[in-house]
Amino acid sequence: MSWVRYTLPAAAIVSAASPAYAVQYLSIEEAQKQAFPSATNFTEVQAGRVWKAEAGGKVAGFFVFDRVIGKHLFIDYAVALTPGGAVHKVEILQYRESYGGEIRSPSWLAQFVGKTGGSALKINGDIRNISGATLSSTHVTEGVKRILAAYANRLR
Amino acid sequence: MPIAFDSIRRARPLLGTFVEIEVTAAAGPETDAAIDAAFDAVARVHRLMSFHEHDSDVSRVNREAGVRPTRVDAWTFEVLEAAVEMHRRSGGVFDVTVAPALQAVGLLPGADGERAVVPAPCVGDAIELLPERIVRFQAPDTRIDLGGIAKGFAVDRAIEVLREFDVPAGLVNASGDLRVFGAAPHAVDLRDPRDPLRLLARIEMAGEALASSARRFDLMEGSTLGASAIINPATGEPAAAMIGATIRTSSCMIADALTKVVMILGTGAGDLLEHYGASALLVAADGDIQITSDWSQAVHLAA
């Protein structure tokens, strides 16, 4: 196996700035349908946060929307609970990422103000696939635990 | 009549990170079911191979396989077979029994708060793989961690599921360990291991897998910045020669495992890469970038 070497003085390396982006995976409505395909009715139990899913007059489960801070910005996610209060599905609704200078730019941050998880938001139409750094999902995992502690017993 | 395909993208928190599945397929219940099933495969790998979950196969063999032969799931066995072969072919550099060394530097939790004792590097057959998916450890204090290979295996299983559902094209990305399938090429951006705020290269790929390792950034809290999560089994110390490695090959499991070897061996891993039909991009501590000659055309450096 032969190698091609690229020797660059450290000062000369001007790699492209990784642009900030947000990936909108699902709106709240889409995520509700994904989690409970048979449900005919979603009733808001707590405004903007908890919905009861019903199918043919029977409770199919609960849908909880939440937001945690990721590396720098918010991650919107939803937990679908069974009628018994167990986790049925955890889905990321929107992932936002920012690096370097963008986070300090008020105009960049302003894009997020007033946005709810349901509003479509795309900074780059061309959503990138990135390799090279493992992002921790710890905060989402902790969020799911908090949701279970807060709602699992109350909703039943 | 031409069939209209949509690009559908989902993400779930699995394997301690965000696993993303993107498919090019007609939107509808069929495609939703395919994506759900692919995520289920990843979740199954998580359940079987997590070091942290008490009931995983990995936790079970760590408790029992040093004492008595222990049967594991077919998927766990398959990963162990690949790990043992990689161990042999890399002259012991790839070693899933480094768990105690990872515990010693705080990268894995210690068992019941006890101070992890780092055993001498394993010689030869520390892990015995017997018929009927039976695993036996030679020494009672052997502990394995499949964190360096299971993520890639999970990506491979998810891709397999999507294909079984006749999804025409797609991508599964477990936070940088990724694989694509389908006719159209995908462009993947590689983060600069010296500065994760920047991109080092854009890589074009089709029908293959890509995995990257780097000295860790500040993405995990409470750990020493800049230290490597990769332990050189010969020294028990974090690897220091390379600061980043990216591997391209057909299997994401193999790509994932090879990144660990290449972080330690650098360009010395040439024969091993050739055996696995893999290409590599290395970023050395002195800033040099080296790319295997078979791959340099597909890698567009940002500099």
Tens of pLDDT, residues B256-291: 999 999 998 999 999 999 999 999 999 987 778 999
What is the C-alpha separation between A51 and A97, in angstroms, rounded?
28
* Residue in A with minimal Cα distance to B278: A1
Residue appearing with tokens 């007059």: A57
Domains B6-41+151-301 and B57-137 are alike in CATH topology:
no
pLDDT value, residue B107? 64
Which A residues in the span 3-62 are in contact with B, Cβ-Cβ below 8 Å?
A: 3-10, 12-18, 23, 25-26, 34, 37
Each residue's pLDDT tens digit, B181-220: 998 888 888 888 877 667 788 888 899 999 998 875 443 3
φ, ψ of residue A17 in degrees (nearest 5): -65, 135
Beta carbons of A37 and B13 less than 8 Å apart = no
Q: Is the pLDDT of residue B78 over 90?
A: yes
Instruction: Name the domain count of chain A.
Output: 1
> Nearest CA of chain B to the CA of A5: how many Å?
4
Q: What is the average per-residue pLDDT within A84-106? A: 69
Instruction: List chain B residues with CB under 8 Å of A131.
Output: 173, 176-178, 188-191, 203, 210-212, 246
Read off the pLDDT of each residue in A88-109 and give the average, rounded to a whole number: 62
Domain boundaries, chain B: 6-41+151-301, 57-137
Give the pLDDT of residue A156: 60
Distance, in Å, from the CA atom of B230 to the CA atom of B101, rounded to the nearest integer, reads 10
pLDDT bracket for residue A141 (50, 70, 90): confident
Q: What is the pLDDT of residue B135?
A: 97
Per-residue confidence (pLDDT) for residue B144, from 0 to 100: 93
pLDDT category of residue A17 using cuts at 50, 70 and 90 = low
Query: In the prediction, which pLDDT does B186 show?
Result: 86
Of the candidates A100, A97, A36, the one whose C-alpha atom is nearest the C-alpha of residue A64 is A36
B9-34: per-residue pLDDT in tens?
999 999 988 999 999 999 888 999 99
Q: Strand pairing of B127-130 and B186-192? A: unpaired
Within 10 angstroms of residue B205's Cβ, the number of other Cβ atoms is 20
Which residue from B minimizes the CA distance to A78?
B12
Q: Check pLDDT > 50 for residue A124.
A: no
User: What's the number of CA atoms in the CB half-sphere (13 Å) around residue A48?
Assistant: 7
Residue A42 belongs to what domain range?
18-124
Provide the strand spans (E) within A1-156. Answer: 3-6, 16-17, 21-24, 41-46, 50-55, 58-69, 74-81, 87-97, 130-131
Quick check: A92 pLDDT over 80?
A: yes
Q: What integer best gives the mean pLDDT of chain B?
A: 85
Distance of CA B93 to the CA centre of its chain: 15
Say how many C-beta atoms besides its own lie within 10 A of residue B294's C-beta. 17
Pairing mode, if any, of strands B242-249 and B134-137? unpaired
Please give, rounded to a whole number of angstroms, the shortest distance from the CA of B195 to a CA of chain A: 9
> What is the pLDDT, as a whole number, of residue A153?
74
Assigned token pair, B154: 């999970």
Q: For residue A123, is pLDDT > 50?
A: no
Chain A, nearest residue to B180 by Cα: A129
pLDDT of residue A114: 37
A62 in a domain, yes or no? Answer: yes
Side-chain-side CA neighbours of A77 within 13 Å: the count stands at 24
B158-186 per-position pLDDT tens digit:
999 999 999 999 999 998 899 999 988 88
Assess if residue A148 is contained within a domain.
no
Residues B242-262: pLDDT tens digits?
889 999 999 999 999 999 999
pLDDT at A69: 83
Could you tell me the pLDDT band of residue B226, with boundaries at 50, 70 and 90? very low
Cβ partners under 8 Å of residue B64, min gap 6: B70
Provide the pLDDT for residue B60: 97
Residue A141 lies in a domain: no
What's the Cα-to-Cα distance from B93 to each of B139, B192, B289, rounded to whole Å? 19, 25, 22
Per-window interface: A 77-96 vs B, CB < 8 A: 77, 89-92, 95
Topology (CATH) of B57-137: T-fold (1.10.3980)
Contact B175 A133 (CB under 8 A): yes
For domain B6-41+151-301, is the CATH number 3.10.520.10?
yes
Q: How confident is the model at residue B36 (pLDDT cuts 50, 70, 90)?
A: very high
Interface predicted TM-score (ipTM) of this complex, two decimals: 0.77
pLDDT digits (tens, 9 = 90+) for B111-166: 544 444 555 555 457 999 999 999 999 999 899 999 999 999 999 999 999 999 99
Kindly state the DSSP code that residue B192 receives in the 8-state scheme: E
Given A5, A14, A144, which is nearest B290 (Cβ)? A5
Q: Which residue has the tokens 């894009």?
A: A111
